[in-house]
Amino acid sequence: MNLIDTHCHPQFPQYDGDRDDVIRHTLDGGVKMICVGTDLEMSEKAVKLAEKYDGIWAAVGLHPDEGLDREFDIGPYKKLAQEKKVVAIGEAGLDYYRTTEPKKHEIQKDRFRQQIMLAKELNKPVILHYRQSQDDVLEILKDNPISGVAHSFSGTPEVAQKFFDLGFYIGFNGIVTFTTQYDKTVISAPLDKILLETDAPLLAPVPYRGKRNEPLYMVEVAKKIAELKKISVEEVAEQTVKNANKLFGLND
């Protein structure tokens, strides 16, 4: 069974001691991955990993909580995003959970819009981070139509539909294995609108809760979605791989 982890961070320091081993046993286990940047340094490292391994692609972007006390120069991101194996801009968006000051929300909005414009210019989708910022995110996306995925989706079926109406996919990760809060969303979401992800090293699924997450553990997410939808895990894997290939152009 083959899978694609559409959102992980194997370039993060949590893997400094065994990064190559983690990546190799993940790829050998049938899981390919998109290594997602959170600032310029992590984006550069993501691209280097993508260049080193078949089965890894990169996303380049600035996380909404990063660097709010510094000027944002999109130029280096634009240059980096034109590398061959960069398939998306992100993770980008708005986060009002960690960042609560309204003044900084405006900074986040400006940077989000800049990254959307870059994605449009380069014809790449956006990997969206949003937390307690749903209304503003949806408003910005309506004003700036773009394709993409709402990463680590944790909303109602009604909110999911708003993203589908904008042409977005939604990404499910380990959260769905340790809470029933989003079962209705998983069940109601069309399978051809779902992507799978881990957000590794964060959000390890059951039965790995409390441990460092790894992209290989994404099989547990696939199993849970299959269980909730009452379909085979093979069907979940096949369709979500098709979805990832379509959104990110992985076969191009």
pLDDT of residue 30: 97
Q: What is the CATH number of the domain that holds 117?
A: 3.20.20.140
Nearest to residue 130, comparing CAs of 170, 174, 167? 170
Look at the chain and report how many structural domains it folds into.
1
Residue 134 structure tokens? 């749903």
Kindly tell me the sign of the dihedral angle through the C-alpha atoms of 146, 132, 208, 205: negative
Q: Distance between CA 37 and CA 45 in Å, rounded?
A: 8
Mean per-residue pLDDT for 179-208? 98
Question: How deeply is 28 buried, as exposed, middle or buried, from its count of CB atoms within 10 A (0-12, 13-18, 19+)?
Answer: exposed
Domain that includes residue 197, residue range? 3-248
| Cβ neighbours of residue 41 closer than 8 Å, sequence gap 6 or more | none
Pairing of strands 168-172, 86-95: unpaired
For the cut 80, the answer to whether the pLDDT of residue 61 exceeds it is yes
pLDDT tens digit string along 69-125? Answer: 999 999 999 999 999 999 999 999 999 999 999 999 999 999 999 999 999 999 999
pLDDT tens digit string along 143-193? Answer: 999 999 999 999 999 999 999 999 999 999 999 999 999 999 999 999 999
pTM over the 0.85 mark: yes
Radius of gyration in angstroms for the set of CA atoms belonging to the chain, rounded to a whole number? 17
For the cut 90, the answer to whether the pLDDT of residue 251 exceeds it is no
